[in-house]
Structure 1
């Protein structure tokens, strides 16, 4: 069996998609460095390789990578940060981010982007949206030209860069910079629809972007447009069994049908039953589930 090298993979994917070297490596490394990677003269580190593969439309998780001790400890520290945020331990997350900043590779744009992204998430979750916007704008500036992207310039983006832009749009929405948020969501939609999906994770992300657009249309009383978006989201998520955020999708779908006067008593009950089931699925333990059932006066026959 023929095993392709990292350099061959990068070069083949780039040429197949007719991307220039400068498009692929912008903000990540020099064109000279990318040429060396493609020619097998050097090997990019794990984090850089993931960005390059994702920009080329490849699922980086499909490839095995040998990592250095330094990269292992950086990954371990990243996981600590992410676990703190998942558990809503925001002060601990900030402390772990500071520990991460002390690591040797932090001067690289990818790691700086990571720091500003997770610092922004902490600020967002504690309601400090202006500080979060500052972090997300600094984050995206490390590897992408934000001004050009807003104006529709052609850029290739990794999954991290897409996530930064989505969070930036969400924070713009929170501080009533609706037009700025709309521009970002529209550009993300355009970008994602012009590139093939590389994973279910990215497809879920795509439907999340469409949901934000549907939500904006709903708030602007454009119910027909919002409903077209929500129908597309619902059909896609249902097809791929994507449960996360389905509750919010069903709630908006039900609200739209009510506004448009075609929500029946039967369909309303069906929506409520599905929403309740999805809420129960989110319960992490029996105690939480019983508390929710008591709050909603749910009785099992």
Structure 2
């Protein structure tokens, strides 16, 4: 069986996609460092390897098995922080983040980006101003994309972290009443993921959330037909890949937009589907919202 060093994997992937060393390394490491990595004269950190592979639409997990003890500790702390964030235990995440900051070198740009990204989310949930939160997100994205411009998204090579940061930048724009800019940015982000991402795993982990956010905004802006199209795309992605993240929310959004277009029977079908999905997920908060909407707008009695 053929085996390749990580430098070989990066070089072969980059050349296959006709990406220059300058394009790939920008914001992550120097061109000189990338050249050494590709020639197996330097071993990248796990974070740098993942970021380089993600920019090329690949996951690095299947290639990179050997890391230093310090690298392992850093990845373990990032995993714990992310886990606490996913269950909204922000104070626990903040405590670990403080320890993480002490461990990280200021030259480790991807780890600095991660710190800014997590701080922004924690600050947002602690009631800090949206302007402050947006500034942190912009600081974070400009670490890997120094010339970041919301109107030039297709020109960049994005990592997984970049995509989630841009998603949050769009959220901040929308909440700051810059709604058209937010919607435009979401459309560009969806186009990027669909056109540039090769790795299916990364694609299906991110698309449902982004499609959900966009469908919600379009509905609130009374762009109901557009919203339904986005919902249909979200349902298709979830069904095709067996992903339940945002599945119920997307179907609920579709039901709402169908209701606004007086397509009552179709709306009822979607509302019932969303209701049963939330019940199966034991998501009583969202199930309660569906029950209230069904009773108030569709004269439909659902029980918790």
TM-score category of the 2 structures, normalised to the smaller one: 0.7 to 0.9
Query: Matches of residues 112-131 of structure 1 in structure 2 within 5 Å?
Result: 112-128=112-128, 129-131=130-132
TM-score scaled by structure 1?
0.87
Q: Tell me the C-alpha RMSD between the 2 structures.
A: 2.4
1:152 offset after TM fit, Å? Answer: 4.3
Deviation at 1:149, TM superposition (A): 5.0
Counting only pairs closer than 5 Å after superposition, residues 1-301 of structure 1 correspond to structure 2 as 1-128=1-128, 129-152=130-153, 154-264=155-265, 267-283=266-282, 298=303
Does structure 1 retain, via aligned residues, the 8 Å contact 2:208–2:245? no
Deviations 1:27-68 (A, max 9, x none): 011111111111111111111000011111111222232111
SS at match of 1:105: coil
Kept in 2: contact 1:100–1:106 (CA 8 A): no
Partners of 1:127 and 1:98 in 2: how far apart? 19
Distance, in Å, in 2 between the alignment partners of 1:281 and 1:121 is 28
Q: Which SS does the other structure have where 1:121 is aligned?
A: helix
Shift of residue 146 of structure 1? 5.0
Q: 1:102 aligns to what SS in structure 2? A: helix
> What secondary structure is seen at the aligned counterpart in 2 of 1:88?
coil
Q: Do the aligned residues in 2 keep the contact of 1:46 with 1:65 (CA within 8 Å)?
A: no
CA contact (8 A) 1:204 1:237 kept: no
Kept in 2, the 8 Å contact 1:124–1:171? The answer is no
In 2, the alpha carbon distance for the partners of 1:152 and 1:198 equals 19
Query: 1:85 deviation in Å?
Result: 2.1
Q: Is the 8 A contact 1:120 1:135 kept in 2?
A: yes
Gaps of 5+ in 2: 293-301
The CA distance in 1 between the partners of 2:185 and 2:5, in whole Å, is 36
My pick for the range that moved more, 195-204 or 15-24, is: 195-204
Distance 1:153 1:202 in 2: 16
Distance in 2 between residues matched to 1:183 and 1:90, nearest whole Å: 30
Q: Secondary structure of the residue that 1:67 maps to in structure 2?
A: coil
Q: 2:299 matched to which residue of 1? A: none
On the 8 A contact 1:159/1:202 being kept in 2, the answer is no
Superposed CA deviations along residues 228-261 of structure 1, whole A, max 9, x for unmatched, are 2222222222222221111111111111211222
Secondary structure of 1:13's aligned partner:
helix
Deviates more, 1:117-126 or 1:19-28: 117-126
Query: Compared with structure 1, are the counterparts of its residues 272 and 227 closer, same or farther at alpha carbon in structure 2 (3 Å cutoff)?
Result: closer
TM-score, with length taken from structure 2: 0.86
